[in-house]
A and B are shown apart, each in its own frame.
Chain A
Amino acid sequence: MASLDAFFAPRTVAVVGASRDPAKIGHLVTKYLLESEARVYPVNPSAREILGRPCYPALESIPGEVDLAVLAVPAPATVEMVRECVKKGVRAIIAQASGFGETGEAGRRLETEIRDILSSVPGDRRPRLLGPNTLGVYVPRNRLDTTFTVRERSPRPGPGDIAFISQSGATAVCIMEAAASMGVGLSAFAGIGNKLDVDENELLDYFAADPHTRAIAFYLENFRDGRGFLERCRRITPRKPVVVLKAGRSASGMRAAALHTGSLAGSDRVVEGALRQVGAFRAYDEEELVDLARVLGQGRPLAGRRVAVLTTAGGLGVILTDLLESRDRGVGLELAPISEEGKARLRSALVPFASVHNPIDLTANSSNQHYADALRVLEEEEDVDAILCVMQFQSPYVDEALADLIIDRFHHGPKPMVVVTIGGELSWRGLRRLGEARVPVYPSLWRAVRATAALYQRGCYLARCTGVTAQGTAAAQLRPRAWEGGSCHV
């Protein structure tokens, strides 16, 4: 079993500190793990049976190998249990307890003890450790879930494309829940906590090689090895997009400011430049992190800056035009010109009062068929680099099959597409449906425009990697499948 696989696809999992008390973390962890594909061994010296499974008094009494041990015990006991894991030959350890380095000197000493225990083991037999101070992992596709928030209160995302690595557990829970509510799925979540052993760099490598992951999203408060992170990004971003929400922007920049460069640097402007240098995207809040990760993982990079807007509400088209084209309150893209032939085709397909100029307005009398016809025309327009599609359900001639139509054109049409829907429950149903079908869709015009701009930036970056100019590249050459596995050096 390759190094970190024991964390994400273990065959056997021991829960140390498993409990019969539904209010205990050790209970929830056991309960959720029992739904996974792994074989689960509850460990607790004072119970014979937990949730219908025989309980083992100690790790060493478990018959057979243990790939992963989840330590759901307090900090001081965690140290002892790490020792037991070593004896048992456990491959991977998730140390969930808080009360380590994050709390002060006494906690730091406990971390040092753990580090000493691990480093005394020869490399090939040394267990890897995630945490301490972590929720652990969540892998939707095999239902491996060590995060211990109550599911009824905190629904988890389904299977998806995004690997999410977070330095804060509670923050990650909120972000995952918000993603789940939009139908956005994950390939995996990993909480790195205090990064005693496994850190963001190793997980970046791991998910770069993971075939289920198409974008890697980070919430980080510091970098274990900043240069190492950048070197990895440089290698990985030509194949797989990386998005980083790096928090702690203002406080950490305390340095001698005798010179301009120092006072201007803070630490934050350097982070911004460094990430841009290696083709990683920077997000500034939790919403942008998921918004960018999904569009970059699922969408196709733009080969140029000309966007066609398809709407059923004229005003939304006007606002989108402003957001797309404005440089100070927008993203500085352009509206694509529609050819005379394209306009003629639109005119004959749409209602007489529809606008066939970009933004193309199907009007409130639009039907599923109008959407289908207009999309077909735009797909064949040479000067259109992307389609920004407003999906609205208010018209009496539109029904929920519109969502399927848009899903089909997103996945099978020739042009990059981003979708936006503004409204109430029907909109949200459509939004979740598209989300689950891995189509980037947003409940706000600005977020959709920002996502479109991210695909444009990605296109420019990839063009730089391959030495082709963004303008001069056919969209087809930039389709995601084409560069997966291909080599591209910056």
Chain B
Amino acid sequence: MCDPREMIRSGLPLAEHQAKDLLASYGVNVPPRVVLSPEGTGVSEVPFPYPVALKVSHADILHKTEMGGVRLGIPDRAGLEAAVADMRSRFPGKSLLVEAQQPPGVEAIVGLIYDATFGPSLMVGLGGVLTELYEDVAFRVAPISEEDARDMLSQLRAHRLFEGFRGIRASRDALVSVLLGVSRLAQELGEHIEQMDLNPVIVYADRAVVVDAKIRPRQPS
């Protein structure tokens, strides 16, 4: 079974590349990427420019950074080949994900949770390492309207980050569009998802890109 929708409905956990396929199908921006299967050997040329990021992509590995499963800023093909060889030796039997490295930007978190009282609910907040530090987040029950999405952002203490604060250019509309995509996903699959973290979602002047995605399905009762 490899359709991510069917996997979610069956309560199967997704690897990161599958989560990103799923998000892309709801119109949510994810980086250009190729998946290297566990069986493969070398690396063919990647269809996007360097630098690239290399990550182990497997449903069992939720916190891959802590396990040394992420290499960022790989400058060229030689570097990528070396990194792939190293990663394969440390994570045998696991798929690897090569992605176009995303430049720095304003980091947001977008989440989805199955709330015991209200059902599927969305979250947005300050992302990256600041998420836990400031806990600056807002929730709404899915589905949300565009107005709801804007109101969520306006509720953040950091809302000015998306309103041109000190010349920082992070498109509020682009982040709203991610929220609306996740809301559509929640409408179809929210009953089957326990939690989902998109963190960071890097917000630029003209777009927002989901750089990391974790999904935990609800176990079917």
Contacts and interface: CB of A to CB of B under 8 A. Distances in A.
Q: Looking at A252, A261, A270, which has the most chain B CB atoms within 10 Å of its CB? A: A261
A252 B117 CA distance: 10
| Chain B interface, DSSP helix/strand/loop, else mixed | strand
A481 interface: no
B132 A260 contact: yes
A273 B149 CA distance: 11
Nearest to A252: B116
A51 B116 CA distance: 49
A481 B137 CA distance: 37
Contacts of B115: 226, 265, 267, 270
Given A270-B139, A273-B152, A277-B148, A256 B194 contact: yes
Nearest to B194: A256
Contact of B109 (A256, A260, A265): A260
Interface of B: 62, 109, 111-113, 115-119, 121, 123, 125, 131-132, 135, 137-141, 144, 147-148, 151-152, 155, 194-197, 199, 214, 216
Contacts of A222: 117
Contacts of A262: 113, 194-195
A261 B118 contact: no
B205 to A, nearest CB: 26
B216 A258 contact: yes
Nearest to A255: B116
B95 to A, nearest CB: 21
Given A226-B119, A267-B117, A271-B117, A258 B195 contact: yes
A266 B140 CA distance: 14
Contact of A265 (B119, B139, B155, B199): B139
Given A227-B118, A230-B141, A265-B123, A259 B197 contact: yes
B132 to A, nearest CB: 7
Nearest to B145: A490
Contacts of A267: 115-117
5 contacts: A226-B117, A256-B194, A269-B137, A270-B117, A274-B141
Contact of A270 (B121, B147, B196): B121
Given A260-B199, A269-B137, A272-B139, 4 more contacts: A256-B194, A265-B111, A273-B139, A464-B147
A272 B118 CA distance: 11
A276 interface: yes
Nearest to A226: B117
A353 to B, nearest CB: 42
Contacts of A259: 62, 111, 195-197, 214, 216
A223 B152 CA distance: 23
Interface in A385-403: none
B113 A270 contact: yes
A489 to B, nearest CB: 11
B196 A226 contact: no
B18 to A, nearest CB: 16
Given A256-B195, A264-B131, A230 B139 contact: no
Contact of A260 (B131, B138, B141): B131
Given A259-B216, A265-B139, A277-B144, A227 B119 contact: yes
A262 B131 CA distance: 12
Contact of B121 (A252, A255, A265): A265
Contacts of B141: 227, 230, 270, 273-274, 277
A223 B117 contact: yes
Contact of B138 (A226, A230, A258, A273): A273
Interface string A220-263: 00110011001000000000000000000000100110111110
Contact of B140 (A226, A227, A277, A464): A277
Contacts of B214: 259
A376 B214 CA distance: 61
A256 B151 CA distance: 28
B147 A261 contact: no
A261 B195 contact: yes
A264 B123 contact: yes
Contacts of A276: 140, 151, 155
Contacts of A271: 117-118
Contacts of A265: 111, 113, 115, 121, 123, 139
B139 A274 contact: yes
Nearest to A273: B139
Contacts of A226: 115, 117-119
Across the A-B interface, give the 7 residue pairs with the lowest CB-CB distance, nearest first: A261-B111, A273-B139, A226-B117, A226-B118, A259-B197, A259-B195, A270-B139
Contacts of B196: 259, 261
Contacts of B109: 260-261
B189 to A, nearest CB: 15
Residue of B116, B135, B140 ringed by the most chain A CB atoms within 10 A: B116
A24 to B, nearest CB: 39
Nearest to A246: B117
Nearest to A263: B132
Nearest to A225: B117
A83 B148 CA distance: 48
Contacts of A464: 147
A252 B115 CA distance: 11
A264 B111 contact: yes
Nearest to A257: B195
Nearest to B137: A264
A237 to B, nearest CB: 14
Contact of A261 (B62, B112, B151): B112
Nearest to B62: A258
A449 to B, nearest CB: 20
B57 to A, nearest CB: 17
Nearest to B122: A273
Contacts of B155: 273, 276
A267 B140 CA distance: 12
Contacts of B152: 273
